[in-house]
Amino acid sequence: MPNQSLYSAIRDHDFSETTCFLCGGDVENDLKSREHVFPKWLLHHFDLWDQPITLLNGTKLAYRQLVIPCCLVCNNEYLSNIEQEVQERFSAGAADVASMDRGRLLLWVLKIFYGLLYRELFLSIDRRDPGAGNIVGPEDMEQFQLLHFILQSCRVSMQFSIMDSDIPASLFVFDVQEPSSKKLKFDYKDDVVNRTLYLRLGKVGILAAFDMGAQTLPGKEFFSRYQGYPLHPLQFGELGANLFMKARVLNRTPKVIIGESPELISFSVLSIAGLSPNPVFGGWEAEDMAEMLMMFLGYSRELVMPVAGRNATWLENGDGSVRFISMDAPPWNTLGEAEE
Ligand SMILES: [Zn+2]
């Protein structure tokens, strides 16, 4: 049974295996009442069904086991039509994904981010001993509840008004060259604390910061240069490192006001800058970016920071034009495939 009341779905959610992750309604503890965090079509397309994923607490799980409790109504009425649309657009290419209604695309990536968090953290919180294994503080929990609230917009009509963005997040889609090696076609990274997501699906690259739109304006300046251009996966990785780093130096906690009338829920985000004279985003140390680039690209420190205090970049040529990097070097070329 779906839970109709929005507030009880959020506030009284008990995070059990028999509670729908989305609406908070009761579900059976069976396979029918489970939703895959990464959709089934995606797992099959990228041959991930039996591949392992390592969760935050270090346990390993096959991707196919990455499921969360979800009632049939939420699954069949609210989530599946978004899923179907993304799948169709994905087959058509990055431009089709980019032209999707941004609110719906946000729901799709947010379900993955929140669903993973749900599987990794919320379901393992021990209710009898709330202090144990709790790596999430109350402030983080509050932000996660806001994300859960945004997810409700797939089943409850909600009006968003955001000073700095069209949607309550910062979301960017890129064209990426697809590696021929199957193992290199898919890549996922997230940062739970700073609420960012990096997803490379063959030819489609998606970056998202669940920051109520804080990176939307600066991102329009920085990321738009590289959109619609066939990026090398390394270049897309560098963009991911930039988005993750920027989220880390955000100096504000976005302020949200939620209003409820019988017909409509309104979700308003005040100006990110607010009245504070401090810059919205701080700067970062080259050393920290080097760590981030190493994580994204798998390169050594010497490669990502050839000169102390300066990070290497793969995005531009010497004259400032966007650099084209071909896929003819290992492991991205067909040689990588032959070695499998
Ligand atoms: Zn439900």
In terms of domains, do 55 and 200 share one?
no
In terms of domains, do 273 and 330 share one?
yes
In terms of domains, do 128 and 165 share one?
no
| Of the residues 150, 174, 192, the one at which a domain ends | 150
Which residues, listed in sequence order, are joined to residue 53 by a DSSP beta bridge?
61
Q: Tell me the CA distances in angstroms from 311 to 135, 187, 302, one per residue in order.
A: 31, 23, 10
In this predicted structure, what is the pLDDT of residue 119?
Answer: 87
User: Taken in order 309, 312, 316, 319, is the CA torsion positive or negative?
Assistant: positive
| Of the residues 131, 150, 169, the one at which a domain ends | 150
- Give the Å distance between the CA of 107 and the centre of ligand 1: 15
Give SS3 for 199. strand
In terms of domains, do 233 and 132 share one?
no
In this predicted structure, what is the pLDDT of residue 286?
Answer: 97
In this predicted structure, what is the pLDDT of residue 336?
Answer: 46
Give me the sheet containing 256-260, strands edge to edge. 158-162, 265-269, 256-260
In terms of domains, do 177 and 127 share one?
no
Distance separating alpha carbons of residues 107 and 296, to the nearest angstrom? 25
In terms of domains, do 173 and 314 share one?
yes
DSSP H helical segments within the chain, as ranges? 6-11, 40-45, 72-73, 80-92, 94-98, 102-120, 138-151, 216-222, 233-248, 286-297, 301-304, 334-338
In terms of domains, do 162 and 143 share one?
no
DSSP secondary structure, 255-277, as one string: -EEEEE-SS-EEEEE--SSTT--
- Give the Å distance between the CA of 76 and the centre of ligand 1: 10
- Give the Å distance between the CA of 106 and the centre of ligand 1: 19
In this predicted structure, what is the pLDDT of residue 167?
Answer: 97
In this predicted structure, what is the pLDDT of residue 14?
Answer: 75
- Give the Å distance between the CA of 209 and the centre of ligand 1: 25
- Give the Å distance between the CA of 198 and the centre of ligand 1: 27
In this predicted structure, what is the pLDDT of residue 334?
Answer: 67
Give SS3 for 319. coil
For residue 221, give its domain range: 157-340
In this predicted structure, what is the pLDDT of residue 130?
Answer: 52
Residues of the chain scoring pLDDT < 50: 1, 128, 132-133, 336, 338-340
Q: What is the tens place of the pLDDT at every residue in 37-92? A: 999 999 999 999 999 998 877 788 999 999 999 999 999 999 999 999 999 999 99
Angle at 192 between CA 222 and CA 72, to 5 degrees: 110
- Give the Å distance between the CA of 53 and the centre of ligand 1: 26
In this predicted structure, what is the pLDDT of residue 56?
Answer: 79
User: Taken in order 132, 133, 137, 143, is the CA torsion positive or negative?
Assistant: negative
Distance separating alpha carbons of residues 234 and 211, to the nearest angstrom? 25
Determine how β-strand 158-162 pairs with β-strand 60-62: unpaired
- Give the Å distance between the CA of 114 and the centre of ligand 1: 15
- Give the Å distance between the CA of 280 and the centre of ligand 1: 37
In terms of domains, do 3 and 112 share one?
yes
- Give the Å distance between the CA of 22 and the centre of ligand 1: 5
In terms of domains, do 130 and 167 share one?
no
- % of the chain at pLDDT higher than 90: 72
Please answer whether residues 147 and 110 qualify as being in contact, where contact means their C-beta atoms are separated by less than 8 angstroms: yes
